[in-house]
Amino acid sequence: MNINATLLAQTIMFALFVWFCMKFVWPPIMAALEQRKKHIADGLADAERAKHDLELASKRSAELLREAKEKVSEIVANGEKRASEIVETAKTQAKVEGDRIIAGAKAEIDQEVFRAKEQLRTQVSTIALAGASKILGREIDAKAHSDLLDKLVAEIK
């Protein structure tokens, strides 16, 4: 328990150890710690950015999906419209065609009627003469009564 030169030895050792620690121990470990801290921070930032990107991408994909759906429904609506249009045109065309056929048929019928009438007209004077001669019991000169016969023919119309 005597105070002696150990005191000085201890102070010198102390100084040496502090110097050594300051020179060779503290800086490399501290630098490594800092670097690791930076690594971790970078990693976290990357993760954050990736998360953000993912969010954006999913938002974008949802938007695309929505757009596609809209397009599809638009196309479907167009198709339906087109189909109904086609049906409509077909209908009108059919109607027109029908009308045309009907008109044709009518014309034909008229023609038939006209022809029948013509035929009748040509034959009516003969028939009338035959009828009248039967009634009178003698021959009738067609030429003498031609004006009468013509009147009769004219009535058949």
Which residues of this protein are in contact with other proteins, per CB under 8 A? Answer: 1-11, 13-15, 17-18, 20-22, 24-26, 28-30, 32-33, 35-36, 39
Cβ 3 to other proteins shortest distance, Å:
6
Q: 101 and 93 in contact (C-beta within 8 Å)?
A: no
What letter does residue 138 receive in the DSSP assignment? S
Distance between CA atoms of residues 106 and 53, nearest Å: 77
Nearer to other proteins, 18 or 148 (CB): 18
Please say which residue, 30 or 75, places its beta carbon nearer to other proteins: 30
Residues 6 or more apart from 142 whose CB is under 8 A from it? 125, 129, 149
Q: Which is nearer to other proteins, 43 or 131 (CB)?
A: 43
Indicate the residue type of 94. A
Q: How far is the CB of 41 from other proteins (least distance, A)?
A: 13
Beta carbon nearer to other proteins, 29 or 83: 29
State which residue, 5 or 154, has the beta carbon closest to other proteins: 5
Task: Give the shortest CB-5-to-other proteins separation in angstroms.
Answer: 6
CB burial of residue 32 (10 Å; 0-12, 13-18, 19+): exposed
DSSP string, 66-79: HHHHHHHHHHHHHH
Q: How far is the CB of 42 from other proteins (least distance, A)?
A: 12
Q: How far is the CB of 44 from other proteins (least distance, A)?
A: 16
